A and B are shown apart, each in its own frame.
Chain A
Amino acid sequence: MSVKDCILIADHLTYVYGSGTERVVKAVDDVSFMIHPGEMIGLIGHTGSGKSTLIQHLNGLLAPSEGSVYYHGKDIHDNGFDRKTFRSKVGLVFQYPEHQLFEETVHKDVMFGPKNMGLSAKEADLRAYEALKMVGLEDEYFYQSPFDLSGGQKRKVAIAGVLAMRPEVLILDEPTAGLDPKGRDEILGLVKSFKEKQNMSIILVSHSMEDVAEYVDRIMVMDNGKLVYDDVPEKVFAQYKHLEEMGLRAPEMTYITDELRKQVFPSLPVVTTLQEAKEAILGTFLLDSGVSL
């Protein structure tokens, strides 16, 4: 894909916290990449590697110390660039987004974004309803106080609050943090459905490979502020030795098939999910025993 049809370009971004003080931290260090329509990207890195700092540049909440961000070819920090509208186009869901809820009812809270965009009450109402439907919240909760919901439900409402702005790119910072396995699968499943139904580009931030392996078609790995890998999952996971040095782990399936490759099937490809592993092992097994599929 070309530069022309990409939504966002991060061009040599560097961000320094506390410049001019004693505690200077280079949280993002010369990072460049592009985001195309409909892509689903996993942004992975150890805690403190700079993921949260990096994504705050993508919707203009942080201005880079060096480098630029382009949205459809326009520098977002140029004078006259409408950053408020831009923020509705690149929706950012922070970590623990349920901590931002404030309205009397769930529905009103989700309307906050659309109303700030200057939409009519009717349109905002409609969008809130649509967004709440998208996250699969039951109707009975729509007019309750968000503070009465369960943790998982609150998080869905908070995500709906960003979806209601109909962003082109949706960025979720560790959306599964603090959820139980069921809640985790539910949220990740939802995110995947957004991509399929709305053709949004999605960036899923996580410190767990297991979380994203199944869902994304591109992985960016950050370590110590630098973008170390930016490739398809198979290529990235093939480097699992290096990933381990950075305090990360490839998904369990990668390790299992790696052992299998060493001991039994030298031709087994690198896989990342259970489904892929099943197909690859079966395929290789049948091939080895002389049966073609």
Chain B
Amino acid sequence: MLRDITLGQYYQTESILHRLDPRTKILASFFYMLSLFLFTNVYVYVLALAMLLLMIELSHVPFKFIIRGMKAIVVLLIITAVFNLFLTKGTTFVSFWKFTITEEGLRNAGFMSLRLIFLILGSSIMTLTTSPNQLTDGLERVFGFLKIFKVPVHELAMMMSIALRFIPILVDETDKIMKAQLARCADFESKNIFKKAKSFIPVLVPLFVSAFRRAGDLAMAMEARCYQGGQGRTKMKPLKYKGRDILTYLVFVLYLAGIFVCGILLPKLLPIY
């Protein structure tokens, strides 16, 4: 069940997106997210959708796999839609019992849900095509300027890469410990919420113990190899921009220009919504 969460996972395969420099992908995702917040009209969202589909196609990640990540946010999506639907004031569209749905509410709910979906899918494409190591390398460089403000960028990036590295290990571990306790007749299916919470103590205690043990081992191994933080540390594979990265930046500049056209010009020429 824990394995089903594909949000933030890396999907190993061969594609141009996988080969891009992580910095390019991080900045491009940032521009994409930005574009979703600039304007709210049908033209902009059609263009955003086209861009998303293009990226999904280029990523070579099966569509099913990407969609599976959406399961995690279904609840959030429903809540957003419902709140927007019922709590937006404006011209009444339909009304029944104590509830009124306004035209504005309908519009807001629709665009908000789309925005959420595009946001998640857009950032999923970045994480799906970038290995955790590359991702942290990229983040370290993109946020490198913060070092001037004494932000420990390297250390934060290192912590993040270790955390990402350990997620699948801890998921496996949880699975194993749960099975071991099930073998001792443990019951995790209690309907009573207090009983249910209590039944997870035999899983959580060993899980924490093992996480601390692993952390200790890792710290020792890093010390033994003279790790001492980012000062003067060189990289085996320094990040270098290639032709395809330049091309990507160009595509995104064009995309943003397109967003502005769709956002400002088109509604004036052909006004709908």
Partner of B184, one of A56, A147, A162: A162
Q: Which of A84, A87, A88, A102 has the most CB of B within 10 A?
A: A102
Q: Is A161 an interface residue (CB 8 A)?
A: yes
Q: Is B108 an interface residue (CB 8 A)?
A: no
Q: Is A106 an interface residue (CB 8 A)?
A: no
Complex CA distance for A162 and B185, rounded to whole angstroms: 10
Contact B179 A94 (CB under 8 A): yes
Q: Is B209 an interface residue (CB 8 A)?
A: yes
Q: Is A179 an interface residue (CB 8 A)?
A: no
Determine, out of B74-82, B85-93, B199-207, B248-256, the stretch whose residues face the partner at the interface: B199-207
**In the assembled complex, how far is the CB of residue A115 from the closest CB belonging to chain B, in whole angstroms?**
9
Q: Which chain A residues lie closer than 8 Å to B180 at the CB level?
A: 94, 97, 99-100
Complex CA distance for A101 and B204, rounded to whole angstroms: 11
Q: Which chain B residues lie closer than 8 Å to A233 at the CB level?
A: none
Encode contact with B along A93-105: 1 for CB under 8 Å, 0 otherwise. 1100101111000
Complex CA distance for A107 and B272, rounded to whole angstroms: 74
Complex CA distance for A227 and B181, rounded to whole angstroms: 28
Contact B183 A162 (CB under 8 A): yes
Contact B187 A102 (CB under 8 A): no
Number of B interface residues, CB 8 Å? 19
Contact B179 A116 (CB under 8 A): no
Encode contact with B along A63-95: 1 for CB under 8 Å, 0 otherwise. 000000000000000000000110110011110
Q: Which chain A residues lie closer than 8 Å to B177 at the CB level?
A: 99-100
**In the assembled complex, how far is the CB of residue A48 from the closest CB belonging to chain B, in whole angstroms?**
15
Q: Which chain A residues lie closer than 8 Å to B218 at the CB level?
A: none
Q: Is A113 an interface residue (CB 8 A)?
A: yes
Contact B184 A161 (CB under 8 A): yes
Q: Which chain A residues lie closer than 8 Å to B201 at the CB level?
A: 102
Number of A interface residues, CB 8 Å? 25
Contact A116 B185 (CB under 8 A): yes
Nearest B residue (CB) for A117: B185
Restricting to A130-171, which residues have a CB under 8 Å from any CB of B? 147, 161-162, 165
Nearest A residue (CB) for B186: A116
Contact A102 B183 (CB under 8 A): no
Q: Is B210 an interface residue (CB 8 A)?
A: yes
**In the assembled complex, how far is the CB of residue B14 from the closest CB belonging to chain A, in whole angstroms?**
13
Q: Is A112 an interface residue (CB 8 A)?
A: yes
Q: Which chain B residues lie closer than 8 Å to A56 at the CB level?
A: 179
Contact B185 A100 (CB under 8 A): no
Contact B185 A99 (CB under 8 A): no
Q: Is B176 an interface residue (CB 8 A)?
A: yes
Q: Which chain A residues lie closer than 8 Å to B206 at the CB level?
A: 99-102
Q: Which chain B residues lie closer than 8 Å to A61 at the CB level?
A: 179, 182-183
Q: Is A176 an interface residue (CB 8 A)?
A: no
Nearest A residue (CB) for B173: A99
Q: Is A59 an interface residue (CB 8 A)?
A: yes
Nearest B residue (CB) for A113: B184
**In the assembled complex, how far is the CB of residue B185 from the closest CB belonging to chain A, in whole angstroms?**
4
Contact B183 A87 (CB under 8 A): yes
Contact A94 B187 (CB under 8 A): no
Complex CA distance for A91 and B185, rounded to whole angstroms: 10
Contact B187 A91 (CB under 8 A): no
Complex CA distance for A92 and B205, rounded to whole angstroms: 20
Contact B209 A94 (CB under 8 A): no
The interface of chain B, by Cβ under 8 A from chain A, is 62, 173, 176-177, 179-187, 201-202, 205-206, 209-210
Beyond the given A88-B185, A102-B206, A165-B184, please list 15 additional residue pairs across the A-B interface where CB-CB is below 8 A: A22-B62, A85-B185, A87-B184, A94-B176, A99-B173, A99-B177, A99-B206, A99-B210, A102-B201, A112-B186, A112-B202, A113-B184, A116-B184, A116-B186, A162-B184
Interchain residue pairs A-B with the least CB separation, the first 10: A116-B185, A102-B205, A100-B180, A113-B184, A92-B183, A94-B180, A102-B202, A102-B206, A88-B185, A61-B179
- List, sorted by A's number, 6 A–B pairs whose CB atoms are closer than 8 Å: A94-B179, A99-B209, A100-B181, A101-B206, A102-B202, A165-B185
